């Protein structure tokens, strides 16, 4: 009976198993989604969520600049980084964890990952899963509207009310200008004819 025996063996030695899960957690932090078997995904989630919690607990301190932190706050950050490095050996993954992921989950108390079942793997029919980090739930900022914004009843692509009048007015001006030019043309031709001297025979 396996009372108080957490974890899975996966037919590997302890050193191989630790390296495997360290690499899986690092890949999850780096790519934010990995595809693996169900058993590995469940065990990786357990380790990843604990590691994210270490970073999230010092999230309020991470928002401060290093020179603005007190001695106690700096010690908390160093301790959290060392605890995360026990699981994740990849330096880039740890930096991303404390710089990007910890601020993202500052208001979330656990449940940073999700597992989506993908069916069976062709070949050995092993059940596969997609393990991914929960995306940021902050709403996207809306673009600022101009001061004379459109009314509520108007659709987005509707032209302004004065644009039709302006178009018709500009069309009338163009028509008047063309009429004037047409009237000037025969008068100019007549003046040229009158100015020419009659030919002598």
Which has the minimum average pLDDT: 66-70, 93-97, 111-115, 187-191? 187-191
pLDDT (tens digit per residue) in 7-46? 889 999 999 999 999 999 999 999 999 999 999 999 999 9
Q: Which domains can be identified in the chain, with CATH numbers?
A: 14-133 (3.90.1030.10)
Indicate left, alpha or beta for 154 from its phi (over 0: left) and psi (-120 to 50: alpha): beta
**Residues in a beta bridge with 131:** 34, 115
pLDDT (tens digit per residue) in 139-152? 555 655 656 555 55
Strand order in the sheet with 127-133: 33-37, 127-133, 113-120
Residues 93 and 29 sit within 8 Å (Cβ to Cβ): yes
Q: Please, which residues have CB within 8 angstroms of residue 62's CB and are 6 or more apart in sequence?
A: 55, 77, 98, 99, 102, 103
CA–CA separation, 162 and 98 (whole Å): 54
Could you identify the residue written with the tokens 């607990």?
57
């Amino acid at each position: 009976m396996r009372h108080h025996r957490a974890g899975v063996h996966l037919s590997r030695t302890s050193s191989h198993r630790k390296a495997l899960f360290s690499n899986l957690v690092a890949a999850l932090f780096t790519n934010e989604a990995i595809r693996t078997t169900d058993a590995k995904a469940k065990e990786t989630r357990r380790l990843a969520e604990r590691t994210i919690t270490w970073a999230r607990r010092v999230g309020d301190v991470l928002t401060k600049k290093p020179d603005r932190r007190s001695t106690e706050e700096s010690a908390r950050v160093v301790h959290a980084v060392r605890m995360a490095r026990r699981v994740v050996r990849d330096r880039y993954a740890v930096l991303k964890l404390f710089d990007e992921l910890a601020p993202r989950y500052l208001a979330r108390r656990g449940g940073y990952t999700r597992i989506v079942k993908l069916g069976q793997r062709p070949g050995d029919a092993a059940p596969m899963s997609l393990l991914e980090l929960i995306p940021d739930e902050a709403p996207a900022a809306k673009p600022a509207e101009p001061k004379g914004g459109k009314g509520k009843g108007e659709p987005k692509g509707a032209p302004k009310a004065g644009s039709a009048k302006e178009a018709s007015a500009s069309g009338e001006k163009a028509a008047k200008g063309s009429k004037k030019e047409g009237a000037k043309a025969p008068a100019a031709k007549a003046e040229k004819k009158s100015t020419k001297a009659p030919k002598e025979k």
